[in-house]
Copies of this chain bind each other. A is one copy, B any other.
Amino acid sequence: MVDESARVRVAVLGASGYAGGELVRLLLAHPRVELGHLAANESAGRTVGEVHPHLAPSPVGGWVLAPLDAAAAAERASFAFLSLPHGASATLAPALLDAGLRVVDLAGDFRLPAGAYPEWYGFEHPSPAWLEKAVYGLPELFAGDIAGASLVANPGCYPTPVALGLAPLLSAGLIGPGPIVVDGKTGLSGAGRALAEATSYAATEDSVRPYRFPKHQHTPEMERALELASGIPATVSFVPHLVPSVRGVLVTCYAPLGAGATTDSLTGCLAAAYADAPFVRVLPSGDMADTKRIRGSNLVELQAVADPRTGTAIVVGALDNLVKGAAGQAVQNMNLMAGFEQTAGLQAMAVYP
């Protein structure tokens, strides 16, 4: 039962990066949200318009970003988004939760079991108790748990389409339990806002290259999400690549094809699984996934093809890494937690071309 009059007062901690700016953009257009508090670390003291010139003409363009402080956030909001570098939320989120806020964390700090952090993130997790209570915020797979959660770990941009594309097929036995290959491609907004020669325009135009493999931290997250959703352990080989674009993640997944599975049965399984999911578009056979068609929207495209010659199921997923891969999915989680319509504030179509 959706409460049509409910509203929520929201804080964004870590409002200066690309995902933080996208959160502010989406929340400004959300019919049930009031922005109460915007904070940042190094950019504290600057205005929103200075940090995000595209938001200068918005109602919050003149707001001064506050320093990161749980108590200050708690005074002005009952709900907090954390969009900080990995490692920072693990200590800040508990303070916010203790102060009574509900929290969606966009970093990787609450996505894995405690034991995985030293290997994949390079730190010992400081809040294992909260980590156990955190819910993995993939709404299409775990909506029930999300609705009642205090702390939601917003999924990574790569694991989102991988889990959505493969979990129903694993559960249905249409792909086997063997090793899975995930080849990822991302635009430069996925590399964040920090300066580096590798992310300059001159070095990026006409450049395609892999990065940080085989130890990208989204690898164990994919494996865990698949097992959480299907009950079946999965092993993933994952290589991410940077391609000359700004928004958009596309993953191409290769898995063992289940006996008798066809393009139609793979597609049909996904279509049935997401028949009621407003943000998942399962493409009809022959239509190719394309990051551009969903840019700026909260949609994810899924495409499944059987290759019986090699015994491979190929599943392609595409999304906008800053929307369904970050800020949009975070708002979708908030909607579930607050009892709003899942689609509130998220109905924009892609800005195309």
B248 touches A206 (CB 8 A): yes
Q: Does A112 sit at the interface, judged by CB under 8 A?
A: no
B214 touches A202 (CB 8 A): no
Chain A 297-329 interface mask (CB, 8 Å, partner B; 1/0): 101000101010111101010100000000000
B214 touches A349 (CB 8 A): no
Stretch at the interface among A77-85, A138-146, A284-292: A284-292
B181 touches A254 (CB 8 A): yes
Q: Does A272 sit at the interface, judged by CB under 8 A?
A: no
Q: How many copies does the complex hold?
A: 4
Residues of chain B within 8 A of A111, CB atoms compared = none
Q: Does A46 sit at the interface, judged by CB under 8 A?
A: no
Stretch at the interface among A52-60, A151-159, A163-171: A52-60
B239 touches A314 (CB 8 A): yes
Chain A 333-348 interface mask (CB, 8 Å, partner B; 1/0): 0000000000000011
Task: Give CA–CA (A291, B207) in the complex, Å.
Answer: 5
Q: Does A94 sit at the interface, judged by CB under 8 A?
A: no
Chain A, range 157-205, C-beta contacts under 8 Å to B: 179, 181, 183, 185, 187-189, 191, 193, 195-197, 199-205
Task: Give CA–CA (A181, B179) in the complex, Å.
Answer: 12
Stretch at the interface among A21-29, A95-103, A126-134: A21-29
